[in-house]
Amino acid sequence: MKKFEPFADGVLPWLTGLAMLAALAMVFLYVPTERVQGVVQRVFYFHLPAAWMTFLGFFIVAGASASFLWQGDRFSDLLAQAAAEVGMVFCSLVLITGSIWARPIWGVWWTWDPRLTMVAVLWTIYAAYVLLRVLAGDNELIARYAAVLGIVGVLDIPILYVAVRLWRGIHPKVERMAPEMAWTLLVCTGAFLCLFAWLLWLRLRSLSLRDEVAALRRQALASS
């Protein structure tokens, strides 16, 4: 973790800030208004990147969980935990921005469309993961349990996707995008990626600081 520190503490916050400003400027000033849906379509440039970050979070959780079960190293465990928490934040963002868009376009805040259903279920899987960590306490055993949940959760995604797909469907598909829209989406995705990385880093560091504090406390108790 040490070798990322100069970059993550020195560069990443600024990079995230600048990218966010650029993304906002592009969303509000640069990109043309969509012809059919109007202004509200602009929320899409935050919605889709947030959805991608949700999936990225899930894959980091699964990868780190597998690596933790394989090697038993503390870093993988902390990474999985941090990625789950940050992923859950982005998953909530997807749901919120989606609702804001759906109200004027579909006339309802929520509908049981496959993708909406899927993100809602993913949110509950994330929530179960985070709650397991919170409710069950923090030790080697729980870390292993969380890793199992992380892996099983990812295995559930494809079959969940098939099931809700067959169940029903009205979500719009993006067919063709104007180049300005594609550029805006790209910049927004970059900004969200930076934000994701930065939040992940902050969480990771605070979790490892918590470890250090616990170790110091044990040391102090042992020596007193």
Partner 1 sequence: MMWALLWKDVRLELRTKERVSSLFVLALLIVFVFVFALSPEQAQRPEVGAALLWVALLFAGMLSLQRAFLIEQERGCLFGLLLCPFDPGTLFLAKLVGNVLFLVLVQAVVTPLTLLLLGARFSWSLLALPLVLLLGIVGFSALGTLFAAIAVRTRAREVLLPLMLLPLLVPLLIAAVKVTGALLAGADWSGVWLRVLLAFDVIFVVTGWLIFAQVVRE
Which residues of this chain interact with partner 1, rule CB under 8 A?
69, 121, 124-125, 127-128, 131-132, 135-137, 141-142, 144-145, 147-149, 151-153, 155-156, 159-160, 162-164, 166-167
As measured in angstroms, the least distance from the Cβ of 114 to partner 1 is 11
Nearer CB in complex with partner 1: 77/184: 77
- d(Cα 144, Cα 149) in Å, to the nearest integer? 9
- d(Cα 15, Cα 29) in Å, to the nearest integer? 21
Nearer CB in complex with partner 1: 42/115: 115
Distance of CA 54 to the CA centre of its chain: 3
As measured in angstroms, the least distance from the Cβ of 117 to partner 1 is 8
Nearer CB in complex with partner 1: 136/216: 136
Nearer CB in complex with partner 1: 139/223: 139
- d(Cα 149, Cα 175) in Å, to the nearest integer? 36
As measured in angstroms, the least distance from the Cβ of 161 to partner 1 is 9
- d(Cα 173, Cα 151) in Å, to the nearest integer? 29
Q: What is the dihedral of CA 215, 217, 218, 219, to 10 degrees?
A: 90
